[in-house]
Structure 1
Amino acid sequence: MPNYKLYYFDGRGLAETSRQLFALADVPFEDIRFTREKFMELKPTFPYGQVPVLEVDGVQIPQSVAIARFLAKKFGFAGKTEVEQAIVDGICDQWKDFYVEIKPYYYGKVGVCPPGWEDLEKAKTEVLIPARDKFFGFLKNLLNKNNNGFLVECGITYADLFIVDNMTSLVGWVPEYFEGHPEIEAYYKRVQEFPKLKVWLAKRPNGPI
Structure 2
Amino acid sequence: MSRLAAAALRGALTASGARSCSISVAFPSASSRLFSTDASGAVAGSQDDSSSGEGHTYGRFYTNISGVGRLGKNMLKTDIIHYLDQCELSLDDVKIDYNKGFYPMGALLKFPSVESFEKAVRQTIQGRMYRLERVSPDEWEHKISLNGKAVLLQGVPRNAQVDDIERFLCGTNYEAPPFENSIRAGVPEPVRMVLVKFGSRTDATNAFIAKNKGFCLNNPVTMRVIQ
TM-score of the aligned structures, taking structure 2 as reference length: 0.22
Structure having the higher strand fraction is 2
TM-score by length of 1: 0.24
Higher relative contact order (CA 8 A, sep 6+): 1
**Between structures 1 and 2, the one with greater helix share:** 1
Structure ID, larger Rg: 2
